[in-house]
Structure 1
Amino acid sequence: MSIPAVSVTDLFVSYHGKPALDNISFTINPGTRVGIIGPNGAGKSTLLKSILGLIPKDHGEVRLLGQPVKEVRTRVAYVAQRSEIDFTFPITVLDTVLLGTYPGLSWLRRARRSHKEWAFECLTKVGMADFARRQIGELSGGQQQRVFLARALAQKAEIFCLDEPFVGIDASSEEAIIELLQEQQQSGKTILIVHHDLSKTEEYFDELVLLNAGLIAAGPVQEVFQPEMMMKAYAAQLSFFKRKE
């Protein structure tokens, strides 16, 4: 039996004494594309950040690739919500991708030619090579997300974690990004995506983690994406739910 890509056990996270995640437990196998879904305020982004060790947990255990997060951090790529990124920062598209090429790259440590060539190759994969010298803030939302995906590709990560990557981007960029993620999955990578558009759920994911502070369900899409499960999670926020035929 293979080691889970992600293992979460009895995870509890609170803000100012109020529970945000209440005893969450689930596992994700390698090579799986997983959607983290739930209503607004359900704790989706909190779960992703706690998995990555970006916010403290009250108790519980998270293991990635069978190890504590700090031991495998360089093998995990994270694409934050665009609203959390300072697009006024004076950095080019190519330099943004270079940051993913190897741990510890900074302005005081020059990238080698091989790093720059690999970063440019990753930009080519996402269709952004022509924008390499642009400042990141000059791009559209969809273009920015492609660049951040290129940075994740440059990291050669085994787990990709994306927080609401399709918010505020055009349809063509969304299609291109999901195709690239599918390619990564086919090569054995594990993909976790915080997602809100229920209409794309069955098309985009193999498995789901359905939250509303507590865990409602986790597992294959066919089992989790059911009316009774969705109503339990969304309650009054979901006026109707109809599965595709």
Structure 2
Amino acid sequence: MEKEAISIKDLHVSYYGNEAIKGVSISVQPGNLVGIIGPNGAGKSTLLKAMLNLIPKDKGDIKVFGKTVKEVRKKIAYVPQRNDIDWDFPITVLDAVLLGTYPNLQLFRRPKKKEKEWALECLQRVGMEEFSKRQIGELSGGQQQRVFLARALAQKAELFYLDEPFVGVDASSEETIVTILKELCLQGKTVIVVHHDLSKANDYFNQLILLNKELISFGEVNEVIQADIIEKAYKGQFAFMKEMGV
């Protein structure tokens, strides 16, 4: 697609009268793997949810492929934080992934054999096909995250949003998830990830949004991870910066 994957202009978001996002403007081209980073309370998840139109904004303009989020909702897949999901819900792994096929079904149509085969293919891609009949709450944190990535893959989206996908996840699952996200970008998809570990930013992403309520920096990873820029966001957390090697 020729249009910008995401265009945000002067975005402001408040919670209970306190401004959480102040005047953020960014433009993301298709095919990028973008990390949203910043200190705790910086508004990373708030920015992601505002991009998805899941929370109201005070003002600003958000376009996806040149259209409103509502107009292109089917092209957008979202993997929420694990603590936002009811793991006791009585649904199997396969049925959870099948939910990803619903946006592309005609009204009142249920998934058929073709959709089930596609869902199993998506589970196979994340290495979870053998768990297809398990209840989602029986899985480990890494396995759960793989299943919800498979659900996103099943949607055949163009734009993927993931909120802290590596929290509580084993190293093998993290590696699997990162590999798939990079493959998606090579296919021209766009991926936005809320992430808290700066030490892995260079390995995982090709662009970064550095946030602390307002936009501190946006661009290629090596442009953003500079000592003076990081210090602006993390307010002199020198031990942290030394650990990151910046």
Task: Confirm or deny a common fold (TM above 0.5).
Answer: yes
2:156 aligns with 156
Q: Does the Cα contact within 8 Å between 1:11 and 1:22 map onto a contact in 2?
A: yes
Q: Secondary structure of the equivalent of 1:101?
A: helix
2:110 aligns with 110
Structure 2 distance, partners of 1:57, 1:45, is 14
2:233 aligns with 233
Q: Deviating runs (4+, > 2 A) in structure 1?
A: 236-240, 242-245
Pairs within 5 Å for 1:20-59:
20-59=20-59
Structure 2 distance, partners of 1:211, 1:131, is 38
Q: Does the Cα contact within 8 Å between 1:39 and 1:237 map onto a contact in 2?
A: no
Q: Secondary structure of the equivalent of 2:13?
A: strand
1:219 aligns with 219
How well do the aligned residues superpose, as a CA RMSD in angstroms? 1.7
> Which ranges of structure 1 fall in alignment gaps of 5 or more residues?
none
Q: Secondary structure of the equivalent of 2:62?
A: strand
Q: Secondary structure of the equivalent of 2:35?
A: strand
2:2 aligns with 2
User: Identity, % of aligned pairs?
Assistant: 61
Structure 1 distance, partners of 2:65, 2:15, is 28
Pairs within 5 Å for 1:56-135:
56-103=56-103, 109-135=109-135
Structure 1 distance, partners of 2:170, 2:238, is 25
In the superposition, the TM-score normalised over structure 1's length comes to 0.96
> Which ranges of structure 2 fall in alignment gaps of 5 or more residues?
none
Deviation per residue, 1:113-150 (Å, 9 max, x gap): 11111001100111000000000000000000000000
Pairs within 5 Å for 1:147-226:
147-226=147-226
1:97–1:23 distance in 2 versus 1, CA, 3 Å: same
Structure 2 distance, partners of 1:238, 1:211, is 18
Which amino acid is 2:21 matched to?
A: L
Q: Does the Cα contact within 8 Å between 1:11 and 1:23 map onto a contact in 2?
A: yes
1:134–1:21 distance in 2 versus 1, CA, 3 Å: same
Shift of 1:102: 2.8
Aligned length: 244
1:239–1:52 distance in 2 versus 1, CA, 3 Å: same
2:13 aligns with 13
Structure 1 distance, partners of 2:214, 2:152, is 29
Structure 1 distance, partners of 2:54, 2:33, is 22
Shift of 1:239: 2.3
Q: Secondary structure of the equivalent of 1:67?
A: coil
Shift of 1:82: 0.1
Q: Does the Cα contact within 8 Å between 2:74 and 2:104 map onto a contact in 1?
A: no
